[in-house]
Structures are given as structure tokens and as C-alpha cells.
Structure 1
Amino acid sequence: MSLQTEVLDPRRDPEPPWWQPLRDSAGLRATWAWETLAAAGPRLGIAAVHDGADLVAMATARWRLGVVHVIAPGSTGQPGWWVADSARQTELFGALGRGLLARFRYATLGTLWRELDGEQADAFTGIRLTRAVHPLAVMPIEWPNEAGWLRTLTANRRKSLRKGARALARDTGLVAASGPANELDADQLIGLIRRTEAKYNGPGRTPRMSDAWLRTLLADPEVRAVYYRDTERNLVAAFTILDHPSWPLAHYWGALPATEGGRKHLYFDGFRRTVGWAIAAEKHGLVWGKGLDDVKARLGCRLLPRYAVAVPPR
């Protein structure tokens, strides 16, 4: 049976009946909720490939400066597509690419596929340009408790984390907690995220999204946070986490500078607390995204090679 491609615009089209079942079966995180995609702004498109009654592939992309960028909205830590059968990647990537080009109908120079592993990059045929990009940091959970993780680190790193934890525990003006992100003040949390975006505007960073998109995402009950407040309940720092049954994704980090009521070393303590949360929740691992490769490797992450492939219109 021939493949059929459905092309959608989340800003204009209603959520298709197969979308939530796809999210459930494929483990697509909160950034893939239809209302969050609809808030991602113009020039976003979705292509879905059907083989008879079966949905076999899906991709989302944004048109920018003549190029169709296949990327997950607001996250470099996950791919912008899903395929049901890796043995059909060449066929399905081709069908998705044609569908996305049809969605935009603009003059396009080509399609840029991001966050591919080596096997996926090799699935593209014909004229193409392949480049290595920033690796993806992941941390399989292989220990029964936080102490087990700490024992895998160097003595100096272990000592530093424990010293920082003791110092913060003595700080009577700071309260550490975790829970649903939608229970936090969205304005404060977005403000923290914006500070970090301005400070770390380098390779591998999460794409800057609108305040409206962030509000929609942070209202989703599938988004969690590991955070710090002062005694007046003002947010001082936070990690946001896109929850997942097996592999949650540490999404955003935001913090006040020490000169404005923040604390030193909160990133490392927040990292430690996030690992502890994942262990307690019996997750298989954590996706730590891209950027700060050396820091994440020293904290026990594995760095997985990732590639981008540019292909001309076909």
C-alpha cells in the first residue's frame, strides 16, 4: 500500500484524533502537546505519514530564511521526528521531507535535519551534507540511591557536591523542593529562564521561545521542577524537567545571580537533587540535553554523538 502524508499547522488545525495515542505510544514529552505546539508561533509545520490505517512517521519543522529546520520546538535534547520502524528510515525520512516542503510552499533551499544519531544520518541518500554537532548528554540510572551515583564521580567532585549540599542545608534563607512546575509563579520562573538564556547564548543551547509558549508549557502537568525559594517564596533557581515514564529531560535551568539574592553553586546542587529525584522515581535515566559538555561529563553523563544532515529539495 502506498504511503499517504498528512500536513498540519497546529495554529490552525484541530488536534487530530491520533495525536494523543501517538504521544502515549512514542513517549513524546510535554513539548509535543498540541496546545504547546500551537503556541510555538508561525512557520511551524507537522507532517505525518500513514501506511494504510497505521501511522508510521511524524516530524515537525520550522521554516527560517529559506531552510526547513526539522527540530523539536523549544528543545535540542530530543529529535524533531518519530518513525515506527527504523528499518524503513530512508523511505520514511524521504516521505516526511516531501510533506514538510509541501507544508511551507515557500522558496526553499533545502531541509536541515538535526539531532540525528549515526545510523539515522546514514539513512539519507543522494546529495547531502553531513556535519557533527554538539553531543547529547544522557545519564543512565544505574544506582539504587544518590550515594551510589556519587561514588562513581572523582573524589574532588564528590567532595565538592557534598560540601555544597551541607552549606546550602545551613542556609536558613533558602528552601529546596520539587514538584509540578504549574504550582510555581510562572512570571518568576520565566524570568529565571531568561537570565540564563542571556548568560549562556552558546552552541547547543535550547532555542529561545516566546513567553506565551513558555506559559503554555509550564502549565502542563507533565512538566516538573526542582527549585529553590527564599523565605518569602520568591524563586531563586530552578531546573524544569519534561517528565517521561523512563527518560525525563532536564529542560531549562534558571537562577538569580548572587548579587540579587541567588546563591553560588546552585546549578550543581540542583543537578544532584534532580538525579536524586530520578532515582527515587525509578526512572531509567535522565536526558541532560546539550551544552556544558565537560561539566556534564564530570557529573557522570555519557556524551552521545549527534549529527545534522542538509538535503536539497527533492
Structure 2
Amino acid sequence: MTPRARIIDPLAEPVPDAWDAFVDDQGVAAGWRSAVLGALAWCARHRVVLGLVTDEGGAPCALFAGRHVLAGRPHRYEGRAERRRFVPGMLECHLPPSVTASGHVFHADLDAPGRAAAVAAFERAAARFLGPALAGVVHRQVGEADLEAFRGPGRIVRPVLAESVVVNRWDTFDGYLASLPRRDRKNLRRLYRLVDEDPGVRTAVEPRLDGVEAARLAHTVLLRYAGGGRRGPNPLPSVYNDRLGGLPGVHYFTYREPDGALLAYGLLLEDGPALRCMGWGSRDAADGGRSNLYFDHFLRQIAFLVERDRDRLIMGKTMTELKERFGARNEPLYAVAGARRFW
């Protein structure tokens, strides 16, 4: 197969209809939709670059997303370089707004040689598009199943923090709980019951949230765990949840006070046969937040996993030891880096 790649700057041109057609056809997570990525591009600190790869017949076979990080220009709006200006930088491939989500999606029927050809076509097209301002490419969060497609001469492959995954092998939520070690089962059942019986908390699964409210709670969590330094964490753009809300496969696991005020939420996206945890936001304890809701939302997402008969729940990359108490296993991920392609 000899694929062709088209590079898209969503600030300068509309994303082709074939992009969303691929997302629909392959059941890809809603975060890959052009309306979401296009909106995030306007809020990004670095230039967002999208890649649409088609096969010899013109049918989409792969999508790529990344950001062009220019050396010495780490801050938003600090002199965005012209396309041909020589400011060397790296193309970091990941799905905005998080660097912990893979920046590539392949067609389910694309074989290993075809995937390698799609990666090469994308990187060559990116090199032509960005010119000498591109020094190299980094693909973040590459799973073992796709790793060979990214290898090549001069490529550096390094393991990164593993991903916690719960593989569904149960018919009921009670069956899931029964599979856990006795101590974990007892603690998690108690936690689930306490939240259910709390008169000050109402749980629900909602299709959308107010973007500003969701961004504020997500940023509260970021600030809670941010270290010292000159700059704080970048806030999640409110437009992200505004654009996600109501799209197919988007679920917000919410915790509200009886008057409807939002206490916390967890974002869950359907991603092919899997479910993917994509964010958590909550109030601080001083503002009425409750620490046990974070643990409870994983239980409710696992119950959702079993009820919907999905293959697995991808719980993310942090707090892996804690997630093992929920029956999660660690799946290895890798970063692959290399110089720009000239071949």
C-alpha cells in the first residue's frame, strides 16, 4: 500500500468531511471529532497539526494529531512562527488537550505494514508542511500492538508510565465485586453504599455539562496537585466540554447537591469497544468537596462497563497502585522519537 497524507492546520482551513466520517465509521472517541479539535486549536499554546492519511483508493485509513513545539517559545501567543521560518521544534503527537492520550488512530482492518506506511506518510507530509522548523517527531503513548509501526532507523523507543486497564470478564457488577480480594471488595462495597446513602449527594450519568463549570472543577484538581514553580498548570478550555457535550459516546458521571449544584464529575468516552476515562473535576474540601467521590466514580464506571458489555475500561496513567484495588492491570506504553523523515 502507498498511502497519501494531508496535513491540516485547523486555524487556516476546514477539516475535511472525511475526517469525521472516519471517526463515525470506526467508532473513535468523540475527542477526535473535528469540531472539538478545531476549537482546541484556537486555545492551544502551540500550533495544532492534524494528519489525514488515505489509501490508494482515497479512503481514510489513519488519523494523527499533534502540536508543533518550537524551541525557546514555550508560552502561548509568544510570536507564533510562520510556516517557513527557521525555528527548529518537535512535532509531539498526542490527542489534545491531554498529552496522555495517543495521537494516532488506525483503521481496524489496516495491517502492520499498512500502519507503518501510514506513519511514514504522515511524517513525510508533516516535514514538507512545517519545513525546516521541524527537527523531529515524538509519538507519545504508543501501545505494544502498534509499536512496530513506529520503529525505524535512528528511532528512540522508551517506556513511559503504564496505563491502568480493567478488562471486562463479568456478567454483573456483583460478579465484578466478588472477583476482588476480600479486603478490597469490602472497602469498595462500603464506599459505594455510603455515597448512595448520602442525602447530600445525587449521582447521575449526563450527556453534557456547562463548559465553564466543568473547566473550573478540573482546574481545581490540577491546582491541588501542582508543584511549585513560576507558572501554574494550564486551565482546560471551557470550549472542550461545550463541544463534547451531546456527542455520541460522551458520558459525564456527575455528583450534585440536592439543589443541583455540581460537586464533582468524571468524563467517560466510548472508544471503539473500550471505555476511556478522560478527566476528573471536583470541588476542594473547603468548598464542600468530598474525597470519596473520586473512588466512587471508578466503581460506577465499571458498573457501566459491565452493563454495556464493553471490552475494557481504560482508567488512565496515574495512581496505578490505587487502581489495582479496582482490579486494574498495567499495560505498557512507549514514546517513540526520531529525526524528521527525508525518505
TM-score by length of 1: 0.90
Distance 1:49 1:286 in 2: 28
Q: Tell me: CA distance 1:185–1:286, structure 2 relative to 1, closer, same or farther (3 Å).
A: same
Shift of 1:201: 4.5
Distance 2:302 2:234 in 1: 24
2:56 is matched with which residue? 52
1:170 maps to which residue? Answer: 197
Amino acid at match of 2:215: I
More moved, 295-304 vs 116-125: 116-125
Partners of 1:224 and 1:215 in 2: CA distance:
13
Q: Take 1:46 and 1:302, find their aligned partners in 2: how far apart are those partners?
A: 32
Task: Name the structure 2 match of 1:64.
Answer: 69
In structure 2, C-alpha distance between the alignment counterparts of 1:187 and 1:241, rounded to whole Å = 18
Give 2:217's aligned residue. Answer: 192
Alpha-carbon distance between aligned partners in 2 of 1:280 and 1:242, rounded to the nearest angstrom: 15
Structure-1 residue corresponding to 2:81: none
Greater shift in the superposed pair: 70-79 or 111-120: 70-79
Q: Note the 1:1-314 alignment, pairs <5 A.
A: 2-41=2-41, 43-53=47-57, 54-65=59-70, 66-76=89-99, 78-84=101-107, 85-88=110-113, 89-105=115-131, 107-123=133-149, 124-180=151-207, 182=208, 184-201=209-226, 209-218=236-245, 220-244=247-271, 246-314=273-341
Superimposed CA distance per residue, residues 93-120 of structure 1 (whole angstroms, 9 cap, x where no aligned partner): 1111112223333522210011112353
1:156-211 CA deviation, whole Å, 9 max, x = no partner?
2111112222222332111111121x2x3333222111111222349xxx986423
- 1:2 deviates by 4.3
Gaps of 5+ in 2: 71-88, 228-232
Q: Distance in 2 between matches of 1:207 and 1:134?
A: 21
Classify 1:291/1:267 alpha carbon distance in 2 versus 1 (closer, same or farther; 3 Å). Answer: same
Distance 1:264 1:30 in 2: 29
Amino acid at match of 2:247: D
Decide which moves more: 252-261 or 231-240: 252-261
Equivalent position SS for 2:333 = strand
**Contact 2:215–2:236 (8 Å) recurs in 1:** no
Is contact 1:49-1:55 (8 Å) kept? yes
Taking the aligned partners of 2:90 and 2:186, their CA distance within structure 1 comes to 48
Question: Given that residues 223 and 243 in structure 1 are in contact (C-alpha distance below 8 angstroms), is that contact kept between their aligned partners in structure 2?
Answer: yes
Aligned twin of 2:76: none
> What is the identity, as a one-letter code, of the residue corresponding to 1:26?
Q
Counterparts of 1:160 and 1:312, CA distance in 2? 50
**1:39 aligned counterpart, secondary structure:** helix
What CA distance in whole angstroms lies between the structure 1 residues aligned with 2:280 and 2:266?
5
Which deviates more, 89-98 or 234-243? 89-98
Contact 1:179–1:225 (8 Å) recurs in 2: yes
The range that moved more, 5-14 or 140-149, is 5-14
Distance in 1 separating the partners of 2:275 and 2:303? 13
Answer yes or no: is the 8 Å Cα contact 2:92–2:137 preserved in 1: yes
For 1:207 and 1:151, the matched residues in 2 are separated by: 41
8 Å Cα contact 1:4-1:50 kept in structure 2: yes
Quick one: distance in 2 between partners of 1:207 and 1:298?
Answer: 31
Residues 113 and 274 of structure 1: CA distance in aligned 2, closer, same or farther (over 3 Å): same
Following TM superposition, the consecutive aligned residue runs of length 4 or more in structure 1 with deviations greater than 4 angstroms are: none
Ranges in structure 1 where 5+ consecutive residues have no aligned partner: none
TM-score (norm 2): 0.83
Question: How many corresponding residue pairs?
Answer: 309
Deviation of the 1:245 alpha carbon:
5.2
**Alpha carbons of structure 1 residues 304 and 159: separation in structure 2 relative to 1, 3 Å:** same
